Amino acid sequence: MSAELQTSGYVIAATGLRAEARVAARSPQTRVVAGGGDAARLEWLLEQSITNDCRGLVSIGMAAGLERNLRPGTCLIGREVTYRGARFPADETWTARLKARLGKVELVGIAGTDRPLVTSSQKQALFATTGAAAADMESHVAARVAARHGLPFAVLRVVADPVERALPPAALAGMREDGGTDPAAVLVSLAKNPRQIAQLVRVAADACRAYYTLLGCHRRMGPGLGLIDLG
């Protein structure tokens, strides 16, 4: 990307959940896509959203921590995304802009994954193979699409579940294909196994902490989630 930041057009924000999408949509000159955990669907939606006025793609939302020192609510800026041996570097100018605006944030590697990381051992294994600090299900898709179109790419993620935490089945049962939540499915899962309740409460509390951190980051990023400068 040119040293001069863009002053027109729009940025596409790739998210997994509709809650994340609502945060990103607050930024002017941003179009938001929620993939709902389906990589193929997200990639298709991103491709459909790109026009000549698109200035870049950003992956924004929550992430699973892979390093043990990352607690829920920790804000991360990705310097690169790793996926199945491929590496996608984030745009240096955009990344520096985000770092300057957000202040005390970690600059780290992000790993892409096609499935939720349910157990601690899955997170540890991904850390061992990639060295990435955190993982999500959207960054590698957005990075791949951006590279295909020669567009700048950036990552902003907040840790929602730490490396030692296992996700209860109810947490996954509630995710709909459009990135929304299905309370009825959560209740059905809890009815089958009530022992999940305490664990689900902890997961929800940490997700809430991550959400409000993400909201605070958004307020400081500016138009186009830090890419577009209205002067």
Full set of structural domains in the chain with CATH: 10-165+210-226 (3.40.50.1580)
Q: Which of 28, 57, 52 is nearest to 138 (CA)?
A: 57
- From 145, 153, 125, select the one nearest 46 (Cα to Cα): 145
Distances (CA, A) of 157 to 3, 37, 42, 107, 209: 24, 15, 17, 10, 13
pLDDT at position 168, please?
75
* CA dihedral for 73, 140, 19, 185, sign (positive or negative): negative
pLDDT, mean over the chain: 88
Q: What is the pLDDT of residues 95-150, one digit of tens each?
A: 999 999 998 898 999 999 999 999 999 999 999 999 999 999 999 999 999 999 99
pLDDT of residue 113: 96
Beta bridge partners of 65: 134
| 228 bridge partner residues | 6
Q: What is the pTM assigned to this prediction?
A: 0.88
Amino acid symbol at 42: L
Residue 63: left (phi > 0), alpha (psi -120 to 50), or beta? beta
- Residue 61 CA to residue 58 CA, distance in Å, equals 10
pLDDT digits (tens, 9 = 90+) for 19-66: 899 999 988 899 999 988 889 999 999 999 999 999 999 999 999 999
Under 8 Å between Cβ of 185 and 137:
no
